[in-house]
Amino acid sequence: MNKKLIGIILIVAGVALAIWGYDVYDSAGSQISRAFSGDTPIEAWIGMVGGGLCIILGIKQLR
């Protein structure tokens, strides 16, 4: 039961992180920055990659 609770928490946190990372990636300031320099903000990468990892770990905990 404890592993399942941790898995659910990881999945929810991962989805929230991924959504936050995408919001940072899609923000107006980020779009302007990417247009001029081609760089993606590190916060966007952290959110999307970290969210994906949390989701994967959460799914593994549910098994």
- Cβ-Cβ contacts under 8 Å for 17 (sequence gap 6 or more): 47, 48, 50, 51, 54
7-63 tens-digit pLDDT:
999 999 999 999 999 999 988 888 888 888 888 888 899 999 999 999 999 999 998
pLDDT value for 50: 96
Q: How many residues make up the chain in this entry?
A: 63
